[in-house]
Each structure stands twice: as structure tokens, then as C-alpha cells.
Amino acid sequence: MEVKAVAKDTGLPASKVRPLVDMVRGKRVDEALNLLRYAASPKARYLAKVVKSAAANAENNYQMEPADLKIVKIYVDVATSMRRFKARSRGRASPIRKNSSHITVIVAEQEG
């Protein structure tokens, strides 16, 4: 059985979270959390919270053993971006986009 956890509108750009997602895809949950704990990016802390949430959902809602869980699917989708304008010289304005993303983690018990 697959169990899912989603973090919506994280405020983190998808392009900066994707390298971390690629690093933990297909790993066991405890191994993924260990990799994220020592990752150089501050975005790893947010990703670790979503992985922990998926493991907690599996444990509390479906009585799965957390030690047997593996990340089956993990992906980052682009969410809405906040649009702001910054004042420039000569009365002009230039746009600023603050990108956001949705992080989805799906875990399942590994066979064997």
C-alpha cells in the first residue's frame, strides 16, 4: 500500500529542491533522512519534514513499520509564483517573481 504526504505552496523554488529530491528518490526513509540531515542546502530541512510526515502517516494510519518504508515516488511540481515589482531608476519598475512549489512524497513497504 502506498502512503502519501504533500506540502503545498512551500515557498521554495522547484529548481532548487529538485537536486535534493533526485538524491533521495528510491532510498529507504531512514537513509533518506540521514542524507538530508547532512545535505548542504537549507531546503533539505523542509524536504525532510515532508518525508517524516509520509512515514508518520504510514505508521499511524496504516500500522506500517517505519523501518520497512521506502520512498517509491517523490516529485516537485511548480506552484503559483508571487509577483512583485521593484522600483527602478527613471520611474520604471521591473518584475520580481518569487517561485513556489508543491512537494509530494509517496512511501510504501519494501518487499523482502
The secondary structure of residue 111, as a DSSP letter, is P
Average pLDDT over residues 8-16: 95
* Model pLDDT, residue 18: 96
Give yes or no for residue 95 having a pLDDT over 70: yes
* Model pLDDT, residue 112: 63
* Model pLDDT, residue 30: 96
* Model pLDDT, residue 79: 96
Chain CA centroid to CA 75, Å: 7
DSSP output for 38-86: T-SSTHHHHHHHHHHHHHHHHHHHH---GGGEEEEEEEEEE---EEEEE
Give yes or no for residue 4 having a pLDDT over 80: yes
Domain boundaries of the chain, sorted by first residue? 2-109
Residues 6+ apart with CB under 8 A from 63: none
Regarding pTM above 0.85, the answer is yes
* Model pLDDT, residue 110: 86
% residues pLDDT > 70 (the chain) = 99
CATH topology of domain 2-109: Ribosomal Protein L22; Chain A (3.90.470)
